Structure 1
Amino acid sequence: MNFVNHRSTTKGSAARGDAAAAGQLRGVLFFPVTPFGLDGEVNVEALRAHVARGASAGPGAVFAACGTGEFNALEPGEFETVVRVAVEAVAGRVPVYAGCGGALPLARRFAAAAARAGADGLLLLPPYLVSCPPEGIANYVEQVAAATALPIIVYQRNNAVFTPETAVQVARLPNVVGFKDGLGNLDAMQRIVLAVRGALGGKPFQFFNGMPTAEMSQLAYRAIGVPLYSSAVFCFAPEVALAFHAAVEAGDQARVDALLERFYAPLVALRNKVPGYAVSLVKAATELGGIATGSVRAPLVPPAPKHVEELKRIIAAGRALVEQPGKHA
């Protein structure tokens, strides 16, 4: 493996960790891809360039080795390398969160590796895809949280489904600082938001939209009190991601509608053509931007050449909208 010898900058990490623990994440959240070389190993230099470029564009935080970063395809040693390189590349500018999840013993190992690598917090993904009740998922979160001092954002998706009661149960844990939704059931999420906010009092806590291409659903999530969201688009077109976020914040509905209609909706239509394209297309688009990302790991598949050509046209359309801010219609 391509391991990097690095001693974490404790003071800088602690400062970012304080902000993360206080629930102070803001702006567009950057979820970098994990580049692989021709030999199939993590391409450390490409990763460093990718994260540094993204951090320079001004995200609110960096989430390394998460869904877009193919957490599912990384073994613990690779994972630690990815997180450490991301921390180095960010250089204290914003908080760095790392993915975590899988079987309970592995989740504890990933949490420990993230701490050694200097991460400021964890995004706790679902465990192995076995059917389980909400009480079992809550117990899983409790056991991972007990094994780390890092702040944790809990990710509801796939088999990790919470009730308002179990969401409150995990939100009360001292180091759980956020709840991210990837299910898209707005009625259920609204009840979770209300229950958690009502139960926590003054504890800093944040809610996140974790749907694929989250910009498509962000207006709806924002309406139920979920202002933060993941942006895979930030990987390859940060100017588009930032323009959309700014338009939402400013209430510029014409600009929001133009970006949704001409960029995000076509991107989602392309994404939906093949399972796994939510990651594969982002990786291909990042490579189009000059970063040697390599291919995705199995079981994902790279996009077909005709889909890459379509992706190029979609990206060009998005950038054209940003370059002509006065022309929305």
Structure 2
Amino acid sequence: MLKGILFFPVTPFAKDGSVDTAKLSEHLKAGIEAGAGGVFVACGTGEFHALGPEEFASVVRTAVRVVGGRVPVFAGTGGASALGRQYARVAEEAGADGLLLMPPYLVAGPPAGLVAYVREVVAASSLPVIVYQRGTARFDVPAALEVARLPQVMGFKDGTGDLDLLARIVTAVRADPATGGEEFQFFNGMPTAEGTQLAYRAIGVELYSSAVFCFAPETALAFHRAVTTGDDHLAQRLLAGFFHPLIALRERVPGYAVALVKAAVRLRGLDVGGVRPPLTDPTPGHLAELEEIIAKGAAIR
């Protein structure tokens, strides 16, 4: 069972374009020391889409070594089914504790096809799996139930923002003893998830991804404490003064959900390099705005 704030580290790149495992180790150590409840490497924020198999294995091995069993380490997998199976096996060999399965989002398949896809990838390793729905990869209630009944599937992460559908999925899955019932975990996987977490929490989804934790763990933890302890005043102040401005900046350019996070890590003093194409790094003007937003969050905190 996962709990607390979930850390989705960036993947640092050196000046020659290679994965910088030394900088990754620093980044991971800082997140663990700040109080992460779980580490999800080579996922969306970690540019899974841009990593080759050897790079992916290196990232997962580094995370497993640095974390040292203090919290669970989950690794991303997904894309084409053959690649999803390959990355699942690589993650298991590298010592990961679980997988975040990200189906191919540009292929519009029916729910039955998504279920078949999940079955194929899940069968490639013995690791527990969290299934991520986002973009065109959308499960209806019967398909979500079928996936949740798979013994290895321990959780379901939502990045669609369709709370009506998700509420019905949550109710159906938790009412079904074949899924593990209340033990089955749901996650808010929206970009800058804090911005929607109050709404997700209202339908029983308490866990969420925090990309902000990568560069402003103090602010991310302050918001998490406010939400979990019922400090609505602080939560609203952080939303108005930090998270909503960050979301507004993020929405100006496609891919900024990752690029801004990586830039913010650099602004806080760790040179993790830029993003790989097709993403682009923030403009100087946007970097200045980002720095102001980070400072405002610290002041509110």
TM-score of the two chains, using structure 1 as the length reference? 0.90
Give the alignment partner of residue 247 of structure 2, picking from 254, 260, 268: 268
Give the alignment partner of residue 285 of structure 2, picking from 281, 300, 306: 306
Q: Does residue 1:244 correspond to 2:223, yes or no?
A: yes
Q: Who is 1:277 aligned against? A: 256
Instruction: Please tell me the residue identity of whatever aligns with 1:154.
Output: V
**Distance across 1 between alignment mates of 2:83 and 2:179:** 33
**Structure 1 unmatched ranges of 5 or more:** 1-23, 323-329
Instruction: Please tell me the residue identity of whatever aligns with 2:103.
Output: P
Post-superposition shift, 1:201? 5.3
Instruction: Please tell me the residue identity of whatever aligns with 2:222.
Output: A
Instruction: Please tell me the residue identity of whatever aligns with 1:227.
Output: E
Give the alignment partner of residue 158 of structure 1, picking from 135, 150, 160: 135
CA contact (8 A) 1:247 1:253 kept: yes
**Structure 2 unmatched ranges of 5 or more:** none
Give the alignment partner of residue 123 of structure 2, picking from 146, 160, 173: 146
Post-superposition shift, 1:116? 1.1
**Distance across 2 between alignment mates of 1:63 and 1:96:** 6
Post-superposition shift, 1:244? 0.2
Q: Who is 2:78 aligned against? A: 101
Post-superposition shift, 1:298? 0.2
Q: Does residue 1:167 correspond to 2:144, yes or no?
A: yes
Q: Does residue 1:212 correspond to 2:173, yes or no?
A: no
CA contact (8 A) 1:152 1:178 kept: yes
**Distance across 2 between alignment mates of 1:28 and 1:220:** 17
Identical residues among aligned pairs (%): 61
Q: Who is 1:292 aligned against? A: 271
Post-superposition shift, 1:146? 1.2
Q: Who is 1:226 aligned against? A: 205
Post-superposition shift, 1:159? 1.7
Residues 48 and 160 of structure 1: CA distance in aligned 2, closer, same or farther (over 3 Å): same
Report matched runs for 1:1-329 at 5 Å.
24-127=1-104, 129-200=106-177, 203=180, 204-322=183-301
**Distance across 2 between alignment mates of 1:159 and 1:101:** 14
Residues 187 and 195 of structure 1: CA distance in aligned 2, closer, same or farther (over 3 Å): same
Instruction: Please tell me the residue identity of whatever aligns with 1:91.
Output: G
Q: List per-residue Cα deviations over 1:113-154 (Å, max 9, x = no partner).
A: 101111000000012621210110011001111111000000
Instruction: Please tell me the residue identity of whatever aligns with 2:196.
Output: S
**Distance across 1 between alignment mates of 2:194 and 2:278:** 26
Post-superposition shift, 1:200? 3.0
CA contact (8 A) 1:51 1:90 kept: yes
Instruction: Please tell me the residue identity of whatever aligns with 1:181.
Output: D
Q: List per-residue Cα deviations over 1:171-220 (Å, max 9, x = no partner).
A: 00010000000000000000110111112357221000000000010000
Aligned residue for 1:229, secondary structure, equals: strand
Post-superposition shift, 1:289? 1.3
Q: Who is 1:10 aligned against? A: none
**Distance across 2 between alignment mates of 1:220 and 1:319:** 24
Post-superposition shift, 1:87? 1.1
Post-superposition shift, 1:78? 0.4
Aligned residue for 2:100, secondary structure, equals: strand
- The alignment yields a C-alpha RMSD, in angstroms, of 0.9
**Distance across 2 between alignment mates of 1:167 and 1:128:** 17
CA contact (8 A) 2:173 2:179 kept: no
Instruction: Please tell me the residue identity of whatever aligns with 2:90.
Output: A
Instruction: Please tell me the residue identity of whatever aligns with 1:51.
Output: L
**Distance across 2 between alignment mates of 1:148 and 1:181:** 23
**Distance across 2 between alignment mates of 1:148 and 1:35:** 27
Q: Who is 1:18 aligned against? A: none
TM-score of the two chains, using structure 2 as the length reference? 0.98
Instruction: Please tell me the residue identity of whatever aligns with 2:39.
Output: V
**Distance across 2 between alignment mates of 1:96 and 1:223:** 28
Instruction: Please tell me the residue identity of whatever aligns with 2:235.
Output: V
Aligned residues: 299
**Distance across 1 between alignment mates of 2:128 and 2:14:** 32
CA contact (8 A) 2:141 2:169 kept: yes
**Distance across 1 between alignment mates of 2:67 and 2:185:** 22
